[in-house]
Structure 1
Amino acid sequence: MADNFQLHVAMFPWLAFGHMIPYLELAKLIAQKGHKISFISTPRNIDRLPKLPPHLSPLINLVKLPLPRIDNLLEGAEVTSDVRYEEVKYLKLAYDGLKEPLTTFLETSHPDWILYDFLPYWLPELASRLGISNGFFSIFIAAMVAYVKPPYLVEYRTTPEDFTVPPKWIPFPTTVAFRLFEALKLFNHSVSAEESHVTDVYRLEKVLKGCDMIAVRGCKEFEPEWLQLLEELHGKPVLPVGFLPTTEYDAGEETETWRSVKEWLDKQEKGKVVYVAFGSEAKPSQDELTEIALGLELSGLPFFWVLKKRRGLVDTEPIELPDGFEERTKGRGIVCTTWAPQLKILGHDAVGGFLTHSGWSSVVEALQNQRALVLLTFLADQGVNARVLEEKKIAYSIPRNDSDGSFTRDSVAESLRMVIVEEEGKLYRDKAREMSSLFGDRDRQDRYVDNLLGYLQSHIKQLTS
Structure 2
Amino acid sequence: MAGSSKLHIAMFPWLAFGHMIPYLELAKLIAQKGHKISFISTPRNTDRLPKLHPSISPLITFVKLSLPQVENLSKDAEATADVPYDKVQYLKQACDDLKEPLSKFLETCDDLDCILFYFAPYWLPDIATSLGIPSVFFSIFTAAMLSYVKPASGIDDRSKPEDFTIPPKWVTFPTNVVFRLFEVLRIFYQTLAGNVVSDLYRTQEGIKGCDMIAVRSCMEFEPEWLQLLEEIHGKPVIPVGVLATTVYDTGVENEAWRSIKDWLDKQKQGSVVYIAFGSEAKPSQVELTEIALGLELSGLPFFWVLRKHRGSADTELIELPEGFEERTKAQGLVWTSWAPQLKILAHDSVGGFLTHSGWSSVVEALQHARALILLTFLADQGINARVLEDKKMGYSIPRNEKNGYFTRDSVAESLRLVMEKEEGKIYRDKVKEMKPLFADKDRQDKYVDKLVDHLRSHGRTKKIKN
TM-score (norm. length: structure 1): 0.98
Shift of 1:260: 1.1
Partner of 1:198: 197
Partner of 1:283: 282
Distance 1:66 1:253 in 2: 32
Partner of 1:21: 21
Quick check: 454-463 or 434-443, which moved more? 454-463
Distance 2:406 2:253 in 1: 35
List per-residue Cα deviations over 1:3-50 (Å, max 9, x = no partner).
Answer: 120000000000000000000000000000000000000000000000
Shift of 1:254: 5.4
Query: Aligned with 2:458: secondary structure?
Result: helix
Preserved contact between residue 279 and residue 357 of structure 1 (Cα < 8 Å)? yes
Query: Aligned with 1:152: secondary structure?
Result: coil
Query: Aligned with 1:147: secondary structure?
Result: coil
Shift of 1:462: 7.7
Gap runs ≥5 in structure 2: none
Shift of 1:251: 2.6
Query: Aligned with 2:54: secondary structure?
Result: coil
Shift of 1:182: 0.6
Shift of 1:253: 6.2
Partner of 1:158: 159
Distance 2:303 2:187 in 1: 30
Shift of 1:463: 7.6
Shift of 1:458: 1.7
Query: Aligned with 2:429: secondary structure?
Result: helix
Query: Aligned with 2:147: secondary structure?
Result: helix
Shift of 1:154: 2.0
Preserved contact between residue 219 and residue 239 of structure 2 (Cα < 8 Å)? yes
Partner of 1:241: 240
Partner of 1:438: 437
Distance 1:341 1:191 in 2: 33
Partner of 1:88: 88
List per-residue Cα deviations over 1:224-261 (Å, max 9, x = no partner).
Answer: 00000000000000000000000001235652111111
Partner of 1:369: 368
Preserved contact between residue 12 and residue 117 of structure 1 (Cα < 8 Å)? yes
Partner of 1:116: 117
Query: Aligned with 1:137: secondary structure?
Result: strand
Gap runs ≥5 in structure 1: none
Distance 2:66 2:362 in 1: 32
Distance 1:22 1:396 in 2: 25
Paired residues for 1:186-225 under 5 Å: 186-194=187-195, 197-225=196-224
List per-residue Cα deviations over 1:205-225 (Å, max 9, x = no partner).
Answer: 101101000000000000000
List per-residue Cα deviations over 1:51-96 (Å, max 9, x = no partner).
Answer: 0111111000001000001011111100001011000000000001
Aligned length: 462
Distance 1:312 1:461 in 2: 40
Preserved contact between residue 3 and residue 461 of structure 1 (Cα < 8 Å)? no
Preserved contact between residue 118 and residue 204 of structure 1 (Cα < 8 Å)? yes
Paired residues for 1:45-444 under 5 Å: 45-110=45-110, 111-194=112-195, 197-251=196-250, 255-444=254-443
Quick check: 416-425 or 213-222, which moved more? 416-425
CA spacing shift, 1:253–1:13, aligned 2, 3 Å:
farther
Distance 1:215 1:169 in 2: 20
Shift of 1:331: 2.4
Distance 1:413 1:428 in 2: 17
Alignment-mate amino acid for residue 327 of structure 2: R
Preserved contact between residue 254 and residue 341 of structure 1 (Cα < 8 Å)? no
Distance 1:254 1:119 in 2: 37
Distance 2:180 2:462 in 1: 45
Partner of 2:6: 6
Alignment-mate amino acid for residue 305 of structure 2: V
Preserved contact between residue 357 and residue 378 of structure 1 (Cα < 8 Å)? yes
Shift of 1:2: 1.7
Partner of 2:33: 33
List per-residue Cα deviations over 1:134-181 (Å, max 9, x = no partner).
Answer: 110000100000011112222211110010111111010100111000
Distance 2:406 2:429 in 1: 26
Quick check: 109-118 or 394-403, which moved more? 109-118
Partner of 2:447: 448
Distance 2:98 2:203 in 1: 18
List per-residue Cα deviations over 1:342-399 (Å, max 9, x = no partner).
Answer: 0000001100100000000000000000100000000011000100111111100000
Distance 1:366 1:36 in 2: 30
Shift of 1:422: 1.1
Query: Aligned with 1:39: secondary structure?
Result: strand
Preserved contact between residue 212 and residue 236 of structure 1 (Cα < 8 Å)? yes
Preserved contact between residue 143 and residue 226 of structure 1 (Cα < 8 Å)? yes
Preserved contact between residue 272 and residue 351 of structure 1 (Cα < 8 Å)? yes
Preserved contact between residue 4 and residue 457 of structure 1 (Cα < 8 Å)? no
Query: Aligned with 2:334: secondary structure?
Result: strand
Shift of 1:312: 2.0
Query: Aligned with 1:454: secondary structure?
Result: helix
Preserved contact between residue 396 and residue 419 of structure 1 (Cα < 8 Å)? yes
Distance 1:434 1:283 in 2: 31
Distance 1:12 1:374 in 2: 32
Query: Aligned with 1:109: secondary structure?
Result: coil
Quick check: 325-334 or 243-252, which moved more? 243-252
Alignment-mate amino acid for residue 374 of structure 1: I
Query: Aligned with 1:294: secondary structure?
Result: helix
Distance 1:368 1:86 in 2: 33
Preserved contact between residue 358 and residue 384 of structure 2 (Cα < 8 Å)? yes
List per-residue Cα deviations over 1:245-278 (Å, max 9, x = no partner).
Answer: 0000123565211111111111101111000000
